[in-house]
Amino acid sequence: MGPENGEEPAGRRVPSPESCTDPYLRCAFNGAAQTALGVLGCALLAHSPQGCEYLVNNAFASQECDYMETVTLCTKLCVDEIVHGGEDILARTIREAKDLPISALFVISACGPEIVGDDIVAVCETLQPEVKFRLIPIPSPGFRGSQYDGIDIALDTILKRLAKKRGEKIPGSVCLIAPHANANPTWPADLTWVKQTLSRMGIPVIATLTHKTPLSEIENIASAETSLLLSHDAGQKAADYLFAAYGIEQICKGIPLPIGMTNTQRWLAALGERFGAQKTAEGMVAEGEKMVMATCRRKMPMARFLYRTPAAIVADATVGIPLVRFVTEEMEMTPELVALYTSQRTVRELLDKELKDLGLNPKVVYGTDVYKTRAGLREVRPKVIFGSTIERHASEGLPVAYVVEVVRIMRQFRMINREYFGYTGILNLFECVQNEWTMAWRSKEKRYEAKW
Amino acid sequence: MENESIVFHGNLQQLLAKVETGEMIPKLQASHAPMCKFFTAYYVISGIRHVVPLVHGPTGCPLYMSDFVRTRECCEMRGVPLEPTACTTLDESHIIYGGEGKLLEAVKEAYAKYHPDLIVILSCCCSGIIGDDVESIAREAEKQVGCRVLALRSEGFGGDFRSGYEDAFKLIMELMDPPQKKMKGTINILGARWGPSPTEFNWDMDEIERLLSEIGIKVNAIIAGGCTVEQIRHAREVELNASWCYDWGQKLGDLMQEKFGVPYSRTGQPYGPEATKEWLLGVAKPLGMEEKALEVIEREMKEVEPDLAYLRQALAGKTAIIEISEFPGPIRALSLARMAKEFGARPVVINVHPYTIKERMPSIKYILETGLNPEIILTKGLFRLGSFRSSKETEDELEAIVRMYDNVIFFGNSGRFPPCPVVNLTLMNPAFQPQYGFKGIRNIAALVRQALENKDLPRSRLFRGMLYGTGKR
């Protein structure tokens, strides 16, 4: 079975040819908000009607902001501002916020004001002398694309406006790009694992774009020697820009992110090789694999009983592509459907390479939506789905035994962030399978009543 | 009696006057951002079974609906099957050249994919501003598919959140056929949202349906809480329309009365014995079932008599400070004020945002006509930049206000830490739901008992620190 959509250019997300879709991804405005809210000590002003504030709230939660530290504001545009323009109300709101103890105010604009031509850049330039903090306008209307396009738009603005033109290179250093373009609902744990790994290898992190990132880190990003992209869905443009503007070399390019033993080993080896830390990398691999095997020996994951069970993977490319190998190799299931939210050429190339390498030929759907996923599930009829709560409901009526919720989880709550990257990540994914296995076996009703 | 954080202290009538003259409309543009018109219109439309809400816009608009309303609220919590949340995914080229062509194709595609009973096109900011003629496309598309196709102008900037509900209810009237017969002893319940399952709090609606069923009253449709297109078509055949909350049913109730002559029972939320009696009789009397209703009421009252006696004894002479900060709106606070008064307490409602008074003007006026005009206090914290929920300033102000009165009991939720007994009326704890009707009286009595009997137990330093920081104990 081959892929469902045609060829698309690299780095650009071509809209679906369908007229009617049931999308998984939010809009560019949401992605821009998610990126801006990853900068520490700042506030965000949505120049939008009040409904768009909910997309900001979602971004706020995704970046794990604290409402005692981060303020979000909204101009709440109504008909008057759409007819007569909303620049005055934007200026008024910025003035109202002038006493906020922040170092920057990101002003992001939604569809309405962008269509009617509000010039948020000009308003910010005019108001800049009146406020103590920096004003950073990011025109990011929803119609510019998906949340991943919004992440790219915001990263572009942030880098061009905030990064100093040059900085003394710090040898063997790295900057991290787009950790938040990751459908693991507790993705900050993936970022933490990456930072701990780099620290063990003695690799300094100059900046993270973006998660709890101080402005000073972004200002000094030119000092980084290398960049590490933590998403297959967004951030490639930022990596390309950093290379073009500052000669920052992108590393670990073209290999899946470190989910599962082989992917982690490969990713760590690439890092070790680039930074002359092969021995440390090998040690981490040996130690990590030993820990995973020893833990599994004690806990006995039930995934081992699912040998060659037909599986579907429905996720973003960041989690979905590495899962293909993890599900096939480590869990010994057989992916028969891979449906990814995105469809750019880099995603296709990476997945194609993985499928060829593994000798798999599943049905592949790029840029999937809920309808296409359901159609794919109907056609392939997998027994296990690695996906979200949506697939649990989209697979009703089909003989699916387990829906392992790994992305966009609504059924289970996580108080502690759990990574999918690295060795503990393997155990976390096994745990997801185990809990689903347990629930599938759980008695739905009692056969008789007890006497007491 | 006054303190410097108080910006308004008077009664509901006086607050309404200040809102009407524009004196109390919040000056800070950035404070208080409820849902937009598009969201609320979507809520109503998605409450019809087998409907495709087709959002004519980019993907951001339907996504909140898809994640929160459809997957979590409907599929996960209310046993509703996965229904589509369709979207035309407008991009820059459609903004420049228009999206009508794509919309027409999308309707046909939606019909082919989902075989719905109804397609409702919902415009959003983009399609509204560029001037796509969604109504004409709906008319054209209807000729090409096998179901009704309606269009709703629901641009987010096009009105406050209430206008989305009202316009959607108004649109639903287009589906109502002329009556072929009268359905004896049958009503519609109007104003439900968050479908397709009855209203946002199932337990309250379950209690209402239980009581109606005891009296022998049938429900044709809960509009739009999980009703079918077929039920809506027959909606004009009922004897009466009612709503569990005067506010939410009001617009559709009035319109159906005016246009179709179906009477509408104007009653408030059934909190406490008097409001519950009034609600049931408000429905039963016009149907000629008053006698049976009185029988049911008498029987139910007897069953909750120990709870009523306890509430009278526990609340008599107390000052009930009432604050609804969760799903904030004035109607529930005012219903609780009425109940507190009925049990002998002096109700003082705090921090109902003037914005919410403005949005519910007709209902507020009706409540005043019924004679309810409680004391209201608004504080500075309500008008600060950002969200007013979980605000340390409003918490500090609440604590100061509680100290101004003697013998106080707080009706709100456990997210507040005033120096008095706290009646935790959160809607997020199913253990004490419903709060409506006679079962509600039992639950409220249990909550008041917990508050009073445990008033000296230590409150959670952890939760307080979580909500308001550790700056002040």
How many Cβ contacts (< 8 angstroms) between chains A and B? 186
Residue to mutate among B59, B66, B102, B120, with most A CBs inside 10 A, is B59
CB contact under 8 A, A27 and B85: no
Rounded Cα–Cα distance for residues B192 and B199 (Å)? 5
CB contact under 8 A, B60 and A92: no
Please report residues of B whose CB lies closer than 8 A to that of A393.
71, 75, 81-82
Contact status of B471 with chain A (Cβ, < 8 Å): no
Rounded Cα–Cα distance for residues A252 and A237 (Å)? 15
pLDDT of residue B390: 57
Please report residues of A whose CB lies closer than 8 A to that of B102.
19
Asked if pLDDT for residue A81 goes beyond 50, the answer is yes
CB contact under 8 A, B30 and A142: no
Residues sharing a CB contact under 8 Å with residue A51, sequence separation 6 or more, in sequence order = B35, B36, B37, B38, B39, B61, B156
Asked if pLDDT for residue B194 goes beyond 50, the answer is yes
For residue A442, give both structure tokens: 């759980």
Residues sharing a CB contact under 8 Å with residue A369, sequence separation 6 or more, in sequence order = A16, A18, A21, A22, A23, A24
For A88, B227, B241, B306, the CA distances from B198, given in Å and listed in that order, are 43, 8, 16, 31
Asked if pLDDT for residue B242 goes beyond 50, the answer is yes
3-state secondary structure string across A170-190: CCCCEEEECCCCCCCCCCHHH
CB contact under 8 A, B29 and A79: no
Rounded Cα–Cα distance for residues B384 and B391 (Å)? 9
Rounded Cα–Cα distance for residues A78 and A113 (Å)? 10
Contact status of B85 with chain A (Cβ, < 8 Å): yes
What are A328-352's pLDDT values in tens digits? 999 999 999 999 999 999 999 999 9
What are A264-300's pLDDT values in tens digits? 999 999 999 999 999 999 999 999 999 999 999 999 9
Lowest mean pLDDT among A362-366, A417-421, B244-248, B278-282: B244-248
Residue to mutate among B37, B88, B125, B394, with most A CBs inside 10 A, is B125
Residue A280 preceded by cis peptide, ω within 30: no
Rounded Cα–Cα distance for residues B184 and B182 (Å)? 6
Asked if pLDDT for residue A13 goes beyond 80, the answer is no
Asked if pLDDT for residue A9 goes beyond 60, the answer is no
Domains A28-162 and A174-274 agree in fold: yes
Residues sharing a CB contact under 8 Å with residue B292, sequence separation 6 or more, in sequence order = B215, B216, B284
For residue A444, give both structure tokens: 């739905």
DSSP label at residue A73: E
CA angle B377, B381, B387 (to 5 degrees): 120
Report the C-alpha dihedral over residues A253, A257, A260, A261, rounded to 10 degrees.
30
Averaged pLDDT of chain A? 94
User: In chain B, positions 345-404, which contact chain A (CB-CB < 8 Å)?
Assistant: 385-387, 390, 392
For residue A250, give both structure tokens: 């992108």
Query: 3-class DSSP state for residue B381?
Result: helix
For A263, B167, B189, B320, B427, the CA distances from B242, given in Å and listed in that order, are 61, 19, 5, 30, 23
Contact status of B36 with chain A (Cβ, < 8 Å): yes
Contact status of B90 with chain A (Cβ, < 8 Å): yes
For A302, B56, B107, B122, B168, the CA distances from B150, given in Å and listed in that order, are 50, 13, 11, 9, 10
CATH superfamily of B177-297: Nitrogenase molybdenum iron protein domain (3.40.50.1980)
The mean pLDDT of B70-85, rounded to a whole number, is: 85
Looking at chain A, the whole-number percentage of residues with pLDDT higher than 90 is 87
> The tokens 């269509």 sit on which residue?
A115
Phi/psi region, residue B386 (left: phi>0; alpha: psi -120 to 50; beta: rest), is left
A15 vs A372, more confident: A372
What residue in B sits closest to A98 (Cα-Cα)?
Answer: B385
CB contact under 8 A, B59 and A25: yes
Contact status of B81 with chain A (Cβ, < 8 Å): yes
Q: How confident is the model at residue B66 (pLDDT cuts 50, 70, 90)?
A: confident
Residue to mutate among A72, A111, A405, with most B CBs inside 10 A, is A111
CB contact under 8 A, A100 and B385: yes
Contact status of B115 with chain A (Cβ, < 8 Å): no
Instruction: Write phi, then psi, for A178 (nearest 5 degrees).
Output: 55, 50
In chain B, domain spans: 6-30+304-468, 37-174, 177-297
Q: Are strands A174-177 and B408-412 parallel, antiparallel or unpaired?
A: unpaired
Report the run of H or E that residue A247 belongs to, with start and end. Answer: none
What are A141-176's pLDDT values in tens digits? 999 999 999 999 999 999 999 999 888 999 999 999
Asked if pLDDT for residue A127 goes beyond 80, the answer is yes
CB contact under 8 A, A22 and B85: yes
Type of residue found at B222: I
Lowest mean pLDDT among A35-49, B55-69, B167-181: B55-69
Looking at chain B, the whole-number percentage of residues with pLDDT higher than 90 is 67
Lowest mean pLDDT among B6-20, B351-365, B416-430, B448-462: B351-365
CATH number of B37-174: 3.40.50.1980
User: Closest Cα of chain B to A74: distance in Å?
Assistant: 5
Identify the CA nearest to A397 among candidates A384, A381, A386. Answer: A381
Asked if pLDDT for residue A414 goes beyond 60, the answer is yes
Q: How confident is the model at residue B23 (pLDDT cuts 50, 70, 90)?
A: confident
Helix and strand numbers, DSSP H then E, in chain A = 17, 13
Q: Contact at 8 Å (CB) between B52 and B86?
A: yes
What residue in A sits closest to B128 (Cα-Cα)?
Answer: A112
Contact status of B157 with chain A (Cβ, < 8 Å): yes
Q: Can you state the angle between helices A278-299 and A422-441, rounded to 10 degrees?
A: 20
Asked if pLDDT for residue A409 goes beyond 90, the answer is no
CB contact under 8 A, B82 and A145: no
pLDDT of residue A50: 87
Type of residue found at A81: E
CB contact under 8 A, B157 and A25: no
| Residue B89 half-sphere exposure toward CB, CA atoms < 13 A | 23
Contact status of B126 with chain A (Cβ, < 8 Å): yes
User: Topology of domain A28-162, per CATH?
Assistant: Rossmann fold (3.40.50)
Rounded Cα–Cα distance for residues B149 and B140 (Å)? 9
For residue B132, give both structure tokens: 């796509």
CB contact under 8 A, A20 and B107: yes
What residue in B sits closest to A53 (Cα-Cα)?
Answer: B33
Asked if pLDDT for residue B1 goes beyond 50, the answer is no
> The tokens 């000296």 sit on which residue?
B456
In chain A, domain spans: 28-162, 174-274, 300-439
User: Closest Cα of chain A to B199: distance in Å?
Assistant: 21
CB contact under 8 A, B60 and A28: yes
Residues sharing a CB contact under 8 Å with residue A249, sequence separation 6 or more, in sequence order = A225, A226, A227, A243
pLDDT of residue A14: 52
Q: How confident is the model at residue B198 (pLDDT cuts 50, 70, 90)?
A: very low
When CB atoms are compared, the residue of A55, A72, A143 closest to B92 is: A143
Please state which CATH class domain A174-274 belongs to: alpha beta
pLDDT of residue B132: 95
What residue in B sits closest to A86 (Cα-Cα)?
Answer: B157
Tell me, rounded to whole angstroms, the distance of Cα B159 from its chain centroid: 17
Asked if pLDDT for residue A7 goes beyond 80, the answer is no
The CATH number corresponding to A300-439 among 1.20.1740.10, 3.40.50.1980, 3.40.50.1100, 3.40.718.10 equals: 3.40.50.1980
pLDDT of residue A12: 47
Q: Contact at 8 Å (CB) between B301 and B308?
A: yes
What are B207-233's pLDDT values in tens digits? 999 999 999 999 999 998 889 999 999
CA angle B468, B471, B473 (to 5 degrees): 80
What residue in B sits closest to A70 (Cα-Cα)?
Answer: B386
Identify the CA nearest to B110 among candidates B172, B53, B66. Answer: B53
Contact status of B105 with chain A (Cβ, < 8 Å): yes
CB contact under 8 A, B29 and A96: yes
Query: 3-class DSSP state for residue B6?
Result: strand
Type of residue found at B393: E
Type of residue found at B400: A
Strand ordering across the sheet containing B183-190: B218-223, B183-190, B238-242
Identify the CA nearest to B208 among candidates B388, B22, B440, B443. Answer: B440
CB contact under 8 A, A22 and B106: no
Lowest mean pLDDT among B104-118, B140-154, B351-365: B351-365
Identify the CA nearest to B240 among candidates B304, B197, B290, B284. Answer: B284
Averaged pLDDT of chain B? 90
The ipTM of this complex is: 0.91
User: In chain B, positions 181-240, which contact chain A (CB-CB < 8 Å)?
Assistant: none
Rounded Cα–Cα distance for residues A142 and A135 (Å)? 21
Burial of B78 (0-12, 13-18, 19+ CB in 10 A): middle
Residue B320 preceded by cis peptide, ω within 30: no
